[in-house]
Amino acid sequence: MMVPATSAAPQSGAHDKVPLLELEHLQMLFPARAAAFGGKRGHVHAVDDVSLALAEGETLGLVGESGCGKTTLARCAVRLLAPTAGKVRFRGADITSLGPRAMRPYRKHMQIVFQDPQGSLNPRKRVRQIIGAALELSAGGSGDDRLRMLLDQVGLNPEHANRFPHEFSGGQRQRIGVARALAVDPQLIVLDEPVSALDVSIQAQVVNLLDDLQDEFGLSYIFVAHDLSVVRHVSDRIAVMYLGKVVELSPAEELYRRPVHPYTLGLLGSIPIPDPVVSRSRPRQLPRGELPSPIDPPAGCRFHTRCPGATDICREVEPPLTLYPGGHEAACHHPLNVSSSDIAGAVRSPAASRSSGSVVPVPPGG
Amino acid sequence: MTLRDTGTGHVPVNESAVGVLDVPAEPYAAGAATYRLALRRLRHNHRAIVFGSLFVLVVVLCLLAPVYARYIAHTGPNVQHITEVLDINGKSVDVVSLTGVPVGPTWHSRFFLGADADGRDLAVRLLYGGRTSLAIGVMATAITIVLATVLGLVAGYYGKWTDGVISRVFDIVWAYPALLLAIALGVSLATGGISIGPVQINSGSILIPTLVIGIVYVPYVARPIRGEVLALREREFVESARALGFSNFRIMASEILPNLTSTLIVFVPLQLAHSIILEAALSFLGAGVQPPAASWGTLLASGAPLFNVAPYLTLAPATMLVITCLGINVFGDGLREALDPRATVRTGY
């Protein structure tokens, strides 16, 4: 892995101008299958009251284990899904409930790259057709030259335009997916686990490609990943999600140096280290047990069923997302790695869930 | 900045790594290559080729019916020769005897397969009947496939109440045995004809059995299509098309439909055989093609009462039906095997 050349983007959501994308108290519920007789019809709380903002040119990492709602959040952000509640704003314009036709002008500003490079390309179409269809929307012309330029920009041989997706390797397919997203000249690209399906050796190449393209075209990314190692070097800020909620949000390096939420600490401990000696010797505090059902999420802090430091208050009151001095936000009653002055300066974050309490965190044992 | 690539040393990052990454894809292929591969498998399936050729032979013979009638048999399909006397190898034979028994196969140019009770040339009627049967089969298959594709696509893609309405209609059609439904529709329409606005179909027209057969089979094809669309709709390339703002029609027509082609190709021979058999059954029961027009079904119907004295009247059309449907079905099986991706494992391609 390597460090990108730039990270010139604002570190904490620029307040002086309108963010590129704002999610406000976003909620996405999916109806769950009802029991056969007299069963109460529940909902899967995929995303439950999440507020995030993305500045121009910024990369927001979105991390969490499978089923935490990060992909649903990503799809709501580009309006592939219509959220149950909350708002999606693009450059200040509310696009939450726009129909497919009204959404069309915004489509060329926001694109998505999917996890499965095989599934995201129509197996019956040649690369020329796949990217050509996206080029129709582009203002920069849809000629053959543009197609060849795009393929070249993503590191593919322009001669391969007439091939079918199955004739490429996984990494190359993902490059085709990136080229398709780039074809419409977007400002925002949501990367939904863009490298999870790739070999480790190919992952770095694709991540570097994405990083270079960001510099070249001034793109903003929402980079979804299920482990913290992938997003470390590309993200300006990282949001950690657990069971539909954002539990921690902080500038990227800060998160690794000083995780505040126990779940983040657990995620950091689960990053594989390719050296058994180092790996065994590091102190680890992994979350216990299984992810609870998102149909009936635990009361209070959603993480309390697996948290080693959970107390009574965690079982009763949902901790609010708390803004600590320095722009670090976390939702925990017993924050780690914070000094008493940090806690003294802590305020309830404007992005905190509406259902969360207003209790100020207390230091462990305090 | 470099990245260590296992085995092959250093791979320059962000430069053209295409040459290094150019590894062959999965063993099973999609896209146009599927069809090329399928065609190659089909060519090696001798059984399918032989039976397919048999069907083609039947089609060619039936298409040549007017030529046979005019230049070999010197008669038409509906020309009666009841009072004529034939000269066979020096013997005088009545086309239809005084007791009503028609002449058997002469193996000569005239009345090659014998005559029917009205003194008509059976061989000529058999070929003309084949034209009718095949035409109804082909048109009914086309109706079935087109309707089933459209309905299956719409039901599977839109889901919700659209799917509910369409699927319940399918259930209703499906609740009746295809033959019973076709008889009911055929009988009621055959007597009165169809008159919907400017569209007028006379009661004797072969379009009536064609429509009946075409519609009766729609749910049988539309259901699997709908199921496949349900799966395809969730694929990420469809979502990607949605992210590009494509209309629903465009997504259905240009993203999903091309992925249904191999299923549809498999259904064509299957439906063709089914339609031809249903036509024969309907016509046999009087709910299909109306006499004097010939089809294999009407030939069977008119020959059946004379089975004891003139069995060839039923055996000839029955044989044609068997050869045709066997040819189609064995070829269709080969086609399905060739298109099935799992066939890769079985045949070793």
Give a yes or no: residue B26 inside a domain.
no
Omega of the bond leading into B292 within 30 degrees of 0 (cis): yes
Nearest neighbour of A120 by CB, restricted to B23, B30, B236: B236
CB B296 within 8 A of CB B288: no
**A148/B317 Cα distance (integer angstroms):** 61
Among A111-120, A136-145, B193-202, the range with the most confident prediction by mean pLDDT is A111-120
At residue B322 the predicted structure's pLDDT band, cuts being 50, 70 and 90, is very high
pLDDT cut 90: percent of chain B above it: 30
Q: Which of B239, B247, B249, B255 is the best substitution to test chain A (most A C-beta atoms within 10 A)?
A: B239
pLDDT exceeds 60 at position A86? yes
Q: Do B13 and A202 touch (CB under 8 A)?
A: no
- Which of the pair, B189 or A191, is modelled with greater confidence? A191
**Chain A interface includes B160 (CB < 8 A):** no
Which pLDDT score, from 0 to 100, does residue B272 have?
Answer: 93
Q: Do A155 and B18 touch (CB under 8 A)?
A: yes
Give a yes or no: residue B136 inside a domain.
yes
pLDDT exceeds 60 at position B344? no
Mean pLDDT, range A337-345, rounded to an integer: 79
Residue with tokens 């799966």: B231
Helices B296-303, B122-158: inter-axial angle, 10-degree rounding = 130
Which pLDDT score, from 0 to 100, does residue B152 have?
Answer: 93
Q: Count other C-beta atoms under 10 Å from residue B57's C-beta.
A: 13
Nearest neighbour of A168 by CB, restricted to B25, B32, B241: B25
Q: For chain B, list the strands marked E by DSSP.
A: 2-5, 9-12, 85-88, 91-94, 194-196, 199-201
Render B2-13 in DSSP notation, one character per residue. EEEETTTEEEET
Give a yes or no: residue B172 inside a domain.
yes
pLDDT exceeds 80 at position A356? no
**B84/A120 Cα distance (integer angstroms):** 74
Classify B159 in phi/psi space as left (phi over 0), alpha (psi -120 to 50) or beta. left
pLDDT exceeds 60 at position B17? no
Which pLDDT score, from 0 to 100, does residue B317 have?
Answer: 92
At residue A6 the predicted structure's pLDDT band, cuts being 50, 70 and 90, is very low
Q: Which of A2, A3, A124, A222 is the best substitution to test chain B (most B C-beta atoms within 10 A)?
A: A124
Which pLDDT score, from 0 to 100, does residue A82 have?
Answer: 86
B171: domain CATH number is 1.10.3720.10
Grouping H, G, I as helix, E, B as strand and the rest as coil, residue A62 is: strand
- The token pair at B348 is 């070793």
- The token pair at A258 is 């000083």
- Give me the domain span that covers residue B292: 47-79+130-347
Which of B 242-271 lie inside 8 A of A, CB atoms? 242-248, 254-255, 258-259, 261
Which pLDDT score, from 0 to 100, does residue A49 have?
Answer: 87
Strand partners, A248: A240, A330
**B303/B297 Cα distance (integer angstroms):** 10
Give a yes or no: residue B280 inside a domain.
yes
Residues of chain A with Cβ-Cβ distance to B25 below 8 Å are 166-169
- Which of the pair, A237 or A42, is modelled with greater confidence? A237
At residue A189 the predicted structure's pLDDT band, cuts being 50, 70 and 90, is very high
- Which of the pair, A90 or B88, is modelled with greater confidence? A90
Q: Count other C-beta atoms under 10 Å from residue B60's C-beta.
A: 9
Q: Do A156 and B259 touch (CB under 8 A)?
A: no
**Chain A interface includes B5 (CB < 8 A):** yes
Give a yes or no: residue B55 inside a domain.
yes
**A154/A172 Cα distance (integer angstroms):** 9
Which residues, 6+ apart, have CB-to-CB distance to A180 below 8 Å?
Answer: A111, A130, A131, A134, B240
Total domains in chain B come to 1
- ipTM over 0.85? The verdict is no
Q: Which of A103, A122, A160, A203 is the best substitution to test chain B (most B C-beta atoms within 10 A)?
A: A122
User: Picking from A45-49, A227-231, B95-99, B314-318, which range would have the lowest pLDDT averaged per residue?
Assistant: B95-99
pLDDT exceeds 90 at position B5? no
CB A336 within 8 A of CB A260: yes
Give a yes or no: residue B214 inside a domain.
yes
Mean pLDDT of chain A: 82
Residues of chain B with Cβ-Cβ distance to A125 below 8 Å are 31, 258
Which pLDDT score, from 0 to 100, does residue B10 have?
Answer: 36
Give a yes or no: residue B88 inside a domain.
no
pLDDT exceeds 50 at position B123? yes
Which pLDDT score, from 0 to 100, does residue B276 have?
Answer: 93
Nearest neighbour of B13 by CB, restricted to A120, A121, A205: A205
Q: Do A123 and B236 touch (CB under 8 A)?
A: no
Which pLDDT score, from 0 to 100, does residue A34 have?
Answer: 58
- H helix or E strand, kind and range, residue B332: helix B312-339
Give a yes or no: residue B299 inside a domain.
yes
CB B257 within 8 A of CB B203: no
Q: Which of A72, A107, A116, A201 is the best substitution to test chain B (most B C-beta atoms within 10 A)?
A: A201
Among B9-13, B30-34, B207-211, the range with the most confident prediction by mean pLDDT is B207-211
Question: Hey, what's the torsion of the CAs at B236, B239, B244, B250, to 10 degrees?
Answer: 110
Tens of pLDDT, residue by residue over A284-336, are 667 777 788 888 888 888 888 888 888 888 888 888 888 888 888 888 888 88
Q: Please state, in angstroms and as integers, the Cα–Cα distance from residue A351 to each residue in A83, A95, A321, B89, following that order.
A: 17, 19, 7, 105
**A43/B332 Cα distance (integer angstroms):** 46
